[in-house]
Structure 1
Amino acid sequence: MSAVYINSASCISVQDTLNENILQNLKPENSIQILKAVEPNYKAFIPPTMIRRMSKTVKMSSVASHYALQEAGITRPDAIIVGTGMGCSQDSEKFLKNVIDNQEEFLTPTFFIQSTHNTVAGQIALGLQCHAYNFTYVNTSSSLEFSFLDAQLQINDGEAENVLVGSTDEQTDRTMELYRLHNIIKKETDLPSDYLNSETKGVIWGEGASFFVVGKEKTDHSYARLKNIHINNRLEVDEVEDFIHEFLTKNNLSAENIDAVILGFSGDTDSDVYYTKTMNIFPNSALLYYKHLSGEFNTASGFSTFMACQILKKQQIPEIMFINAVKKEEIKNILLYNHLAGDDHSLVLLERV
């Protein structure tokens, strides 16, 4: 497939990522079990009568998509593609609670209707009066990557020129409670978390929404060229090197050509070994990490993609993201590697425009 361009990037996260000076204002957090997103003033974007009926993920996505489209100078995209791991969890929990409280009788359908995973893409389309291709991917930690692949196909096949691509996930009290019980979230006794040298299981959980406009043509606003994506559901630790080398070879690159590698270290001792193994492949590249800034969640790679876009455009890497001491005069190629708990491994290659 031909490369496409990321012409705008917007993100709502546990950082103040709507701020223009985000690279200078990043604040790591390693001592709280669950990180909440910094939410904007929704009333400036959504009518008050609609806000109370929207779940957090719909509200975050509506604002993030608004900024992405505004930056790209597009009123109505040719397609809307959204990736999410958990969907509208808040409304799902409300519906299930209704089922239990009412003993499965006299149920109102509202929460069920709003709980489906494609609610986000649908609400954005309704707000824009966009009747074009509308699709939602639910593939845990590779949901955004599958969305990008679909956007690439739509553009390469001549079905679209500008595609709104996004990822979003929210937290809910009951789900977080279950995650604690299953030790997915770190125990309080294991905090603060050492993201790079952890000896304990579990992660600090976050949330957020990231949206991008992917286009056929390069524009004055372009952040990066989306060159290629590769996804593998299952991977053994000793297969990581071949997984990455094959991807680089397919793109006519070697490890020496990669200026920066963004790794998804989460502080979980069992699954971070994949990233530790990857570091050995890139001795001369700037090695970066980001989940101490975003927390772990299904579509955390949206935050890393947003940061990679900022780095490529501004040619600056925040000190807080460095793992090693390698610094490049020019950052041309960035490789993003992510997985969730050792499953759904994804590689994304971005190039400076």
Structure 2
Amino acid sequence: MKPVFVNSAVCISAQNTLAEDVFAELKLPERTNLLNAIEPSYKEFITPGLIRRMSKVVKMSSVAAQKSLQEAEVENPDAIIVGTGMGCSEDSEKFLKNLIENGEEFLTPTYFIQSTHNTVAGQIALSIPCHSYNFTYVNCGSSFEFSLLDAKLQLENGEAQNCLVGGTDVIADHTEELYELNKTIKAKNEIPENLLDSKTEGVVWGNGSAFFVLENEKSESSYSQLVDISIVNILEKSEIKNFINDFLTKNNLENSEIDAVIFGFSGDHDSDNFYREAQQLFENSPQLYFKHLCGEFNTAAAFAFFMANQILKKQEIPELIKINNFEKKEIRNILIYNNFFGKEHSLVLLKKP
């Protein structure tokens, strides 16, 4: 099978991740229960007529995808694969609101047409234009990982030479209100100073869009090699160590050979216990976390994937994401472990190209 390399990485998030020196721009956000993405100047990438008709998630994704293709010097990818948990819920809410307010009469079809989950991948393809494989994964908290897996399999088996892969999610206003009511999102008076010390349920929510070009040819600008991905829907806490050990054994690695492990601590006390179990396997490795910078959302793993690629390329770890002070001279292997409210467990292994 052919190797798979990450040859571009672009992210729009609650951090200034479009900056040239990403690590220098990282900062702890204000204590709030919703971290909104820092949006770019869309008029530099999208014509004004289209901007007015696009929802936030489509605009962010279009920019991130465009910049990712430019960085990898790919004009027309062999596949566009997008993972999203929430899809275009903003347009869904607008359509339903108009439906109620207008008594089901005189409705414009635009919001309905753009409310489907595959709108993002479709709009990217139309803008290029690209007539190749176009697919959207909607798998709750593992949508991005399934997108990565699809691209990896296609590249390994020679079905594609390059794939544009993205993870994108934006929470709509009414959905945010519902999430606050059912305590999916933390109450504002329960937000801990340090996410790792949280004793309550619920998370700080976030928004974001990250896109990557994966190819089976290594280039001078390659960030990493994507080695393996494993996804399991439901696990008991007692099964986490075996899940990780089996994954490492499959890839001929010892725990000590993991030079950095990125955990998805979200501030939800119960689901964070899975990470605490896993931490015991990596006492002699740098342990990192990321959701205090971007928030929790269905495709937050795309932010972790972006950070992991930056770390491998720069060979440095920013202080803001460190859990412990263990250091290694060279960062060769990075493991990302994420779950979504105690389900959708995923492992992603990257190595220095």
Q: Fold-level match, TM-score > 0.5?
A: yes
Task: Point out the more displaced range, 26-35 or 102-111.
Answer: 102-111
Q: Which residue of 2 aligns with 1:222?
A: 222
Aligned to 2:42: 42
Corresponding residue number in structure 2 for 1:168 = 168
Structure 1: segments with no counterpart, 5+ residues: none
Partner of 2:233: 233
When residues 122 and 161 of structure 1 are mapped into structure 2, their CA distance, relative to the original with a 3 A threshold, is same
Contact 1:30 1:191 in 2 (8 A): no
Q: Which runs of structure 2 are paired with 1:6-45 in the superposition (5 Å)?
A: 6-29=6-29, 31-45=31-45
Q: How does 1:295-334 map to 2 (within 5 A)?
A: 295-334=295-334
What secondary structure is seen at the aligned counterpart in 2 of 1:115? coil
Judged with a 3 Å threshold, the aligned counterparts in structure 2 of structure 1 residues 176 and 193 are, in CA distance, closer, same or farther, namely farther
Structure 1 window deviating more from structure 2 (152-161 vs 297-306): it is 152-161
Task: Return the alpha-carbon distance in structure 2 between the equivalents of residues 160 and 318 of structure 1.
Answer: 35
Unpaired runs of 5+ residues, structure 2, are none
Residue 101 of structure 1 deviates from its aligned partner by 1.7
Secondary structure (helix, strand or coil) at the match of 2:287 reads: strand
Change beyond 3 A, Cα 1:313–1:82: same
**Secondary structure of the residue that 1:229 maps to in structure 2?**
strand
Count how many residue pairs are aligned between Structure 1 and Structure 2.
353
Deviates more, 1:192-201 or 1:79-88: 192-201
State the distance in 2 between where 1:278 and 1:257 align: 15
Determine the C-alpha separation between the residues in 2 that align with 1:168 and 1:3. Answer: 25
Q: Following TM superposition, by how much is the alpha carbon of 1:351 offset from its aligned partner in structure 2, in angstroms?
A: 0.3
* 1:333-352 superposed matches below 5 A: 333-352=333-352
> CA 1:306–1:149 in 2, change beyond 3 Å: closer, same or farther?
same
For 1:191 and 1:298, the matched residues in 2 are separated by 20
Q: 1:352 to 1:255 in 2, by over 3 A?
A: same
Per-residue CA deviations over 1:246-291 (Å, capped at 9, x if unaligned) read 1001111110110000000011111100001110001111000000
Is 1:270 the equivalent of 2:270?
Answer: yes
Distance 2:192 2:280 in 1: 27
Paired residue secondary structure (2:212): strand
Question: Hey, what's the Cα distance between the residues in 1 that align with 2:157 and 2:110?
Answer: 37
Alpha-carbon deviation of 1:2? 4.5
Tell me if the contact between 2:2 and 2:158 (Cα under 8 Å) persists in the aligned partners. no
2:30 and 2:336 mapped to 1: Cα distance? 22
Q: CA deviation at 1:193?
A: 4.4
Query: Aligned partners of 1:193 and 1:243: how far apart in 2?
Result: 31
Separation (CA, whole Å) in 2 of partners of 1:68 and 1:60: 12
Tell me if structure 2 keeps the 8 A contact 1:7–1:219: yes
Q: Secondary structure at the match of 1:196?
A: helix
SS at match of 2:74: coil
Shift of 1:30: 5.7
C-alpha distance in 2 between matches for 1:27 and 1:224: 25
In 2, Cα distance between equivalents of 1:284 and 1:237: 21
- Superposition RMSD in Å: 1.0
Structure 2 Cα separation of the partners of residues 326 and 10 of structure 1: 28
Of the structure 1 ranges 175-184 and 98-107, higher mean CA displacement relative to structure 2 is found in: 98-107
State the shift of 1:102 in Å: 2.4
CA contact (8 A) 1:30 1:192 kept: no
Opposite residue 187 of structure 1, the aligned amino acid is A
User: C-alpha separation between the residues in 2 aligned to 1:264 and 1:156?
Assistant: 28
Structure 1 segments (4+ residues) deviating >4 Å? none
Distance 1:182 1:79 in 2: 38
Partners of 2:246 and 2:341 in 1: how far apart?
23
Q: Does 1:257 align with 2:257?
A: yes
Q: Paired residue for 2:101?
A: 101
Question: How far does the alpha carbon of each residue in 1:58-87 deviate from its partner, in whole angstroms, 9 at most, with x for none?
Answer: 000011011110110111111100000000
1:72-151 correspondence to structure 2 within 5 Å = 72-151=72-151
Identity %: 60
SS of equivalent residue, structure 2 residue 262: strand
Distance 1:157 1:337 in 2: 26
3-state SS in 2 of match to 1:281: helix
* Alpha-carbon shift at residue 316 of structure 1 (Å): 0.6
1:193-232 map, 5 Å: 193-232=193-232
**Secondary structure at 2:136 match in 1:** strand
Cα distance in 1 for partners of 2:258, 2:39 equals: 34
